[in-house]
Each structure stands twice: as C-alpha cells, then as structure tokens.
Chain A
Amino acid sequence: MSTDPLHDAQKRAFRYWYLDGTFEFSLGGMCLLLAAYFYAEFLLRATWIGPMMIAVFLLVMIGGGFLINRLVMAFKERLTFPRTGYVAFRRAQGPAYWKRMVLLGALSAATAFLLVWVVMNQPAGFDWTAAATGLIFGAVVVYLGIHFGIARFFVYAAISLTLGAITGWLNWPENLGLIAFYGLSGLGLLLMGTFHLWKYLRENPMPAEESHDK
C-alpha cells in the first residue's frame, strides 16, 4: 500500500468492481461455457453438427459473454449498488484507446500463435495445450492482481498453473485435458465468488431506506 492516502482512495475506487465476488462469477461462467463448448465439440465431432461447432465458436463466446455480463449487472443492481454504491469507470479515449486496442490485439495474436504452435509441436506424453492454457490464464490473472492490487488473484494464478500442470501431466486424449482445466477452473472460481459474495453481504448489510438530500 502506498503512503499517499489520496492514491489509496483512488486505488480502492479502482478495486471496487472486484469487491463483491461477481468478477469470479463472470470469469467462472466464461470458463464453464468454454468447458461446455469443448465437451460438446468432443461429443459431436463425428456427427454432422461437428463442423458447425467450430463455425459458431465466436458466436457462443460473444453471446455467452453478453448474457453473463447482463446477469452480473442485474445482480450488482440488486445487491451491490444499494449497499455500497455505484461507480462508473473511465474508459480510455482517443490515442490511449487505440494504443490499448493495438496492444491487446498483438497480445491476443501472440497468444493464439503460441497455442497453435504448442498444439502442432507438442511432444507425446504431456498435454502442453492444457499446460499453456493454465500459464496464459495465470499470467492474465497476475496482471489483473498487480494492476488493481488484489492479492486473491495471485492465489487464482497459482491454482491455474497447478491445474494446467496436472491436466498436462494426466495427458488425456483429444481435448479432455482442456475441458477438465476449464471445468475445474470455472467451478473453483464460482466457489471463490460465492465465498467473497457471502463475505461482502455479511460485511455490508442493506441500509435502511432513506433518501439523501443532494
């Protein structure tokens, strides 16, 4: 924590989004959606639906992401905002926005390239796809942990790396390792989200209804 109280107040405002555990619900929901998608793809690969599954991947992810986001916002509107208030965060604009977009695009492309390279070149005996996914997932969570100063994200990163290593070592056929990784990560995140939500609700009871004058 910095010694500048103003900076600390600003950091707390940045962290506010992650206070109630709903971020874990969003991320966990996306992980479970990915696990379900890969499992469906694994089951239906040999049928006529198989080729269509690859085509609808983006649609499933964007649609699922939108739905999960709506659910989380509805949840925050009912539970979080009346208890501890509402904050809208600033979005980068102009050159800063484009700089961020270019950086994100380059990172996504590099990640996709790395994953494809790992899938094409992985030696037998270890599922590098699951291990690399765990590494990338962990790196993203570590970045968020450092950026927002949230210690529990480092625990998620350690769990992600461990899960990636275990599913890699188990070396299940097809993409079962990846399904296990996303499925277990999703369930773990939902559990952690539930714990943080319980803690948040216990620490922040609903205030009595009363209007403020300003």
Chain B
Amino acid sequence: MTNDLRSLTEIDRLLHEPARTVIVAILAAVESADFVFLQRETGLTKGNLSTHLTKLEDAGYIEIQKTFRGKYPLTLCRLTEQGRKAFTAYRKQLLEFVERTK
C-alpha cells in the first residue's frame, strides 16, 4: 500500500462523516453552541443530531451540559481539548492527502 493510501486508512472514522464533521467544525469555531443552533446549522432531525452528539460525546470529543438560559432549557455542546486535537489532525490529514493526490 502506498503512503498516500495508508494515510487515508488511518483517518479518524468518527470525524470522517459529513454531519459529524460539520458539528465539530462549528464547535471548533465557538466556545459552545446549543442543540437548537446545531440542528439549524446542520439541517439534521432531532433524532439524528442526538445520535451523532452521543457518538462524539462517547469518544470524548465533546461535552454536553444541560442548563438554562433565562427560563429556557439549553443543551450546550462544547468541544473538548481531545476533540479539538482530533479535528485539527483530521483536517491536516485530509488536506495532505488531497495535496499529494492532486
């Protein structure tokens, strides 16, 4: 197997899914975002978004906190340091692969 292909097989499969990539990309840009905002931005259904968030939380990439803002309940999602590193590495890997195979 060539190095290019090997680097592709080593890619983070949890992040290599469009919906999860977008969720993590948004969370990488902000301090935290709530469920409603993520749903609006990703266009996912509540059930789908919940599933993706659970997978990311189980991997330790995000933290989920249930809280209130005023009288409205908030489900706040925040990228962990591990998640930030994983996302940076994923983007780097992907960019390198694209560059090498141009």
Mark each residue of chain A from 88 to 127: 1 if its CB lies under 8 Å from any CB of chain B, else 0. Answer: 1111000000000000000000000000000000000000
* Contacting residues, chain A, for B50 (C-beta < 8 A): 212-214
* Contacting residues, chain B, for A78 (C-beta < 8 A): 70
Given contacts A9-B41, A13-B30, A77-B70, contact A85 B49 (CB under 8 A): no
Q: What is the bound-complex CA distance between A77 and B64, given in angstroms?
A: 20
Q: How many residues of A contact B (CB 8 A)?
A: 27
Q: Which residues on B are within 8 Å of A, measured CB to CB?
A: 21-22, 25-26, 28-41, 46-47, 49-50, 53-54, 64, 69-70, 72-76, 91
Contact B46 A213 (CB under 8 A): yes
Contact B36 A6 (CB under 8 A): no
- Secondary structure type dominating chain A contacts: helix
- Secondary structure type dominating chain B contacts: helix
Q: Which residues on A are within 8 Å of B, measured CB to CB?
A: 5-6, 9-10, 12-14, 16, 74, 77-78, 81-91, 207, 211-214
Q: What is the bound-complex CA distance between A143 and B37, given in angstroms?
A: 26
Q: How many whole Å from A196's CB to the nearest CB in chain B? A: 17
Q: How many whole Å from A111's CB to the nearest CB in chain B? A: 29
